[in-house]
Structure 1
Amino acid sequence: MPQPCAPRRRYGTLDEARTTLRARFGYPDFRAPQIRAIEAAVAGGDALVVLPTGGGKSLCYQVPALMRHGLTVVVSPLISLMKDQVEALNRRGIAAAYINSTLAQADATERLARARDGTLTMLYLAPERLEAGRTLEKLSEIGVALLAVDEAHCISEWGHDFRPSYRRIGAIRERLGAPQTIALTATATPEVRTDIVKQLALRNAAVVVAGFDRVNLTYHVVTANTQQEKDRTALRWLRDANGPAVVYAPTRKAVERLTGVLIRGGVKATAYHAGLNDRLRQRAQDAFMEERARVIVATSAFGMGIDKPDVRLVVHHAMPGAIESYYQEAGRAGRDGQPGQCMLLYSYPDRFTHEFFIKSAHPERHVVEQVWRALGAAADSAHRVHMTVEELVQRRPLSSVGAREVGAAVRVLLSHGLCHSIAPAPGRVWIRLLASPARIRRELSGERQFDLEVLRVLWRAIGARLLTGAPVDLDGLPPGLGGAIGLVPVLTRLETHQFVSWSRTGGGYQLDPRSAGGNSLALNWSGLERRRRTDMARLDAMQQYAQSRYCRRAYVLRYFGDPEARTYCGACDRCLGLAHGPVSLPTPTVPDGRQSVFLRAAPRRA
């Protein structure tokens, strides 16, 4: 246990922080909501900072980090996000680095050595990396002056993106000697804020909640009963949008389809989702950032850490599952302070999709117990199970449960430490053919002849089992195909275009020997049920927003507990008295009186 902490040391004044801000980041002053956070940080106290997307959360720990001696550790959930932030800091001459799964062990060791010798100011880590190997032990020896926890809502089981690894940061903080801690998030309800403070054991924390009222944004909900109505409405708004736009779609397949609709409609659009490999995602992002594509159509995988201030329109092609997700994504419009439009295309069946995902994410108790028994039956004498979820689901009686629920049950077991993943073998994959022979012959020709040859070789190796999915050793296929190294990019390309689905296999699970063989699972079943109910309540709140007859801005601000909430904003479709049909184009007035240049429609009576 750490020794009782000495009184907090003051690291400077607000004026000294302003000097650091101007000298290192080039900004003339902090925004009003940032000031309270900076004052708490330079005074040496803990803080919880809740500022919306684009509100400048990062500066609330980066500036204090530069005002003291010692290492600042930043917990960040996304590899791309920490990479972008570190590169931005390095361009400003600030010694920052990250350690994540993309690094070789030698590079990670070198960066920890820089932290030890004092030449590194900030070190970014994922929470899983903090627990890996001897990282935590080494950081304890080095000493952590400041701990910054980004995306802190992931700590709370009431948060919209709860991650068990984040839940353990409180214990990690204690092992680091309970250093001064700043937790930051863009979306946290009062209940989530209370839980963050409790889980991190923050002492006398300054809780800064401000800036949620983005007065330059106008909110609209358009009811569209069919996918075709949604497509037509989105196309009209996007054609008339005066500047870059982001369109969020719920699935990879929807992203690809909608991108095609927009391109055929004359809109320069590009697709972005997690199913694309790194090179294709970077190409899509660069095209949007450099405005070679005016519109990017994306899943929620796009946006974290993307700093494009001049987005004029954000369209949600389907209702998200939570206000938190919607507000964070919609908030990527108008980050330059100029007018921006946020449009949600709403259809009641959108709810059914989210109910399906919630049910899949929170399997029933009997399913979890059934999966646990199946794992136990398949385990060897060392409690190892050498099969993937896809292979596991083919065993009776799990074949009647379904892959999605089996996968969710395995994730529950993993998150509670009842089993651990074994890394897959490089050349072992599980492949399933999705496309029909006619489509393969029609589309895989010319430049894609090699892709066609790969599918032919797979069919010869597996036969009809390819239709339902089967394991394949890529390194055991004819040598002219290039083995795993040459075939993985081909499979990724084929999956992107919906010809196959595939995943690595040959790994499996290591069961906890203390629990293996037992029929009774040490799980917090009531906690899992609370989590399911919380997700359903969050979905209910999102639907109420879409169906509300009153001020939409007020609804959102009250949801987040913002004290600035009013009953009338004058800048949402309800307050403006706008009747949105599936293809109507309203003419809202933004709060400063300027007219949007691309919205035209007749108002209705309130």
Structure 2
Amino acid sequence: MNLHHTLQQTFGFSSLRPGQQQVIEQLLAGRSAAAIFPTGSGKSLCYQLPALLLPHLTLVISPLLALMQDQLAFLRRLNIPAASIDSSQGWEESRRVMQEVSEGRIKILMISVERLKNERFRQFIGRVPLSLLVVDEAHCISEWGHNFRPDYLKLPQYRQQLAIPQVLLLTATATPRVIEDMQQKFAIPKENVVITGFYRPNLQLQVLPVEEQDKAAALQQLLAEAPRSSTIVYVTLQHSAEQLAERLAAAGIPARAYHAGLEQDLRKQLQQDFMQGRVPCIVATIAFGMGVDKADIRRVIHYDLPKSIENYSQEIGRAGRDGNPSTCTLLGNRAGLNVLENFVYGDTPEPAAIRDLLGELQQAGPQWELMPLRLSNATNIRLLPLKTLLVYLELDGIIEPQYSYFADYRFKFIKPREEILAAFQGERQAFLRQLFDGSPQARSWCQVNFEAIRQRAGGERQRVIRALDYLHQQGWISLESKQMIEVYRVLQSGFDPEAEAARLHALFRQKERSELSRLEEMIDFFESDDCLSRRLAGYFADHQAPVRCGHCSVCAGRPARLPAPALPPLPAPAQLEQWCRALQQEDGTPLSTHSLACFLCGISTPLLNRLKARGKPGFGALERQRFGEVAQLLASPPAG
């Protein structure tokens, strides 16, 4: 099948965009490649077209279920045999997809990286001939990139285990350091990395220095110039989104708030209303973004500092996709900078917490079953750093993932119990009756008691779950599962816990320094005396942008200096002691300096949540101060 014939007949395109042809030709020549293309420039076609021409299955790793479903819907519209195995499916549907993959009827299979933690899935996919591994949002693999996903670190290892001949890495946001990291991890030569220009001549980048107390009025003034122009306003906090949207609506600017705290149906409706122009302005947290492929967004306004240059680039990348002039404005000051810094510190576990985790591992025996949330609370390590620690232990050959399962299942009847039973006969009906009898009902929900069912009907856990999945898919019951348990094989437990804890803590400190320097780079960018468009392109390894774009705030003669708020004075030692004394552990053990600094800076940790720290007078009292200075203050002995 000819490349251009397939491009035209299947996808309806007469030619490829810049960069696409180069990547696709490398893949068809049997080489691995990386495509570093800006948002909305056709990265997906770089694997979709070769997948039809390569002999075996293309396995795609996608970080978000919503992205996966969007891409699958597109492929199915083109009659391309593609499928996913994901958390929204029941057992029967997953089994059907696996059968079609085994028979060679699927050309593209999409999964999350976490699916590869399942030993049975690894064994299954290991028996399937594979042509290509595609890693979407490939910057997630690098600890020096944004949106780092610990499980992505294991992809080079999985690629080796599964003997996948070629790899394609896709991302819109990779700095030279991240590109180099990706190349090394997958042994991709420099000449196989294709970077298309990041410079977008239609985007006008504006940095507007504004004092914190004046930002709402400045935003209102900006929006009033064209109240019905399609606009996204990005904020950090959910309550900021609500308050600003109310203020704008009261001023006659049709705006709505969007954030992760809203019901899923309302979020869907808001996104649809925005896409179709019924709501011209959305005030949103970063929860609003994926799947927002609207061509005529004229303004993207950052009301608060973004988390990084990468986040900023992704968010402004949603403006002006139709090629028409669009404005991207930051209402800038340094008021939120300490808060962003403080959250970086909150993600570094203390050495004692890491030792506690290693102690649990050494006591586990040959198999370690853990409930992430419970382990997080027991060791005082937040969930993301905990996942990162587990991956570090895997990469060091100490543990190996086997599978995961839900500890608790419950269901409620949609169709009457006896009607469901009447649909079956003989042994299957008897088994279902025992399953129902072994699931005591409290009000409307029935709690599944696996042990009781096993004793009554000899029903093994997997058979019970398959039966419940089937009934749920038929729409006869509503099924819920919770409390995920992850199972690891312990490969070595005789390591020195002190040395291992020190090694792991050093990795986190290195990552902490990297995150803090990324925040500094972001402030340097917004305060640049050089053309913003050129600086942004250069950050992402594109050195082809013009020296002066002529349409950013620097080129207009307005380089910015972001105003810094006056810091309130540090409290007197007596006040500090009073706040800290109010926070006591149940057994009277004194809290570490790190935990007390988190408390005073308003950073939640599992331990502080357990101590109900949010309700204490000192929580967040010093959130505008720098974490390092607060920790230093706590560690210093009182004068005199």
Q: Does TM-score exceed 0.5, indicating one fold?
A: yes
1:414 aligns with 2:400: no
Shift in alpha-carbon separation, 1:96–1:407, aligned structure 2, 3 A: closer
**What CA deviation, in whole Å up to 9, does each residue of 1:135-160 have, x standing for no partner?**
23222322112221111111112111
The question of whether the paired residues in 1 share the 8 Å contact of 2:368 and 2:488 is answered with yes
The question of whether the paired residues in 1 share the 8 Å contact of 2:274 and 2:282 is answered with yes
Using structure 1 for the length normalisation, give the TM-score. 0.73
* Stretch deviating more after TM superposition (413-422 or 48-57): 413-422
From 124, 130, 137, give the equivalent of 1:151: 137
| Cα distance in 1, alignment partners of residues 126 and 520 from structure 2 | 44
**What residue in structure 2 maps to residue 530 of structure 1?**
510
> What letter is aligned with 2:531?
C
SS at match of 2:127: helix
Displacement after TM superposition at 1:372 (Å): 5.5
1:120-199 correspondence to structure 2 within 5 Å: 120-199=106-185
> What letter is aligned with 1:216?
N
| Cα distance in 2, alignment partners of residues 273 and 326 from structure 1 | 18
1:230 aligns with 2:215: yes
**What residue in structure 1 maps to residue 328 of structure 2?**
342
Shift in alpha-carbon separation, 1:376–1:68, aligned structure 2, 3 A: closer
Q: Which has the larger radius of gyration?
A: 2
Displacement after TM superposition at 1:389 (Å): 5.1
| Cα distance in 1, alignment partners of residues 370 and 561 from structure 2 | 55
> What letter is aligned with 2:61?
V
**What residue in structure 2 maps to residue 273 of structure 1?**
259
Displacement after TM superposition at 1:364 (Å): 3.6
Displacement after TM superposition at 1:55 (Å): 1.3
> What letter is aligned with 2:6?
T
Displacement after TM superposition at 1:565 (Å): 3.6
* Stretch deviating more after TM superposition (520-529 or 240-249): 520-529
SS at match of 1:353: helix
> What letter is aligned with 1:102?
S
* Stretch deviating more after TM superposition (207-216 or 358-367): 358-367
| Cα distance in 2, alignment partners of residues 377 and 134 from structure 1 | 25
SS at match of 2:287: coil
SS at match of 1:564: coil
* Stretch deviating more after TM superposition (194-203 or 93-102): 194-203
> What letter is aligned with 1:532?
E
**What CA deviation, in whole Å up to 9, does each residue of 1:521-570 have, x standing for no partner?**
46533332221111111111111112223211121122112121443110
**What residue in structure 2 maps to residue 545 of structure 1?**
525
Displacement after TM superposition at 1:427 (Å): 7.0
| Cα distance in 2, alignment partners of residues 479 and 73 from structure 1 | 44
1:29-178 correspondence to structure 2 within 5 Å: 29-178=15-164
* Stretch deviating more after TM superposition (90-99 or 77-86): 90-99
**What residue in structure 2 maps to residue 567 of structure 1?**
547
| Cα distance in 1, alignment partners of residues 113 and 139 from structure 2 | 13
**What CA deviation, in whole Å up to 9, does each residue of 1:232-272 have, x standing for no partner?**
22223233346321122113333233332332232333333
SS at match of 1:168: helix
| Cα distance in 1, alignment partners of residues 560 and 513 from structure 2 | 32
Displacement after TM superposition at 1:302 (Å): 2.3
**What CA deviation, in whole Å up to 9, does each residue of 1:256-305 have, x standing for no partner?**
33332332232333333333343232222212112221122222222224
| Cα distance in 2, alignment partners of residues 381 and 166 from structure 1 | 25
Shift in alpha-carbon separation, 1:127–1:24, aligned structure 2, 3 A: same
Displacement after TM superposition at 1:360 (Å): 1.3
* Stretch deviating more after TM superposition (155-164 or 182-191): 155-164
Shift in alpha-carbon separation, 1:82–1:579, aligned structure 2, 3 A: same
Using structure 2 for the length normalisation, give the TM-score. 0.69
| Cα distance in 2, alignment partners of residues 113 and 94 from structure 1 | 17
> What letter is aligned with 1:112?
M
**What CA deviation, in whole Å up to 9, does each residue of 1:468-500 have, x standing for no partner?**
xxxxxxx999737x6899xxxxxxxxxxxxxxx
- % identity of equivalent residues: 34
* Stretch deviating more after TM superposition (90-99 or 128-137): 128-137
SS at match of 2:282: strand
* Stretch deviating more after TM superposition (548-557 or 83-92): 548-557
Aligned length: 493
Displacement after TM superposition at 1:184 (Å): 0.7
Displacement after TM superposition at 1:88 (Å): 1.1
The question of whether the paired residues in 1 share the 8 Å contact of 2:366 and 2:489 is answered with no
Displacement after TM superposition at 1:169 (Å): 1.0
Shift in alpha-carbon separation, 1:387–1:170, aligned structure 2, 3 A: closer
Shift in alpha-carbon separation, 1:381–1:78, aligned structure 2, 3 A: closer
Shift in alpha-carbon separation, 1:330–1:293, aligned structure 2, 3 A: same
1:209-228 correspondence to structure 2 within 5 Å: 209-226=195-212, 228=213
Q: Unpaired runs of 5+ in structure 1? A: 1-11, 429-474, 486-503, 583-606
**What CA deviation, in whole Å up to 9, does each residue of 1:572-598 have, x standing for no partner?**
01102248899xxxxxxxxxxxxxxxx
Q: Unpaired runs of 5+ in structure 2? A: 412-438, 449-480, 563-640
**What residue in structure 1 maps to residue 408 of structure 2?**
425
Shift in alpha-carbon separation, 1:390–1:232, aligned structure 2, 3 A: farther
Displacement after TM superposition at 1:213 (Å): 0.5
The question of whether the paired residues in 1 share the 8 Å contact of 2:354 and 2:505 is answered with no
1:120-519 correspondence to structure 2 within 5 Å: 120-202=106-188, 206-226=192-212, 228-241=213-226, 243-369=229-355, 388=373, 392=377, 406-407=382-383, 410-417=386-393, 423=406, 425=408, 479=443, 514-515=492-493, 519=497
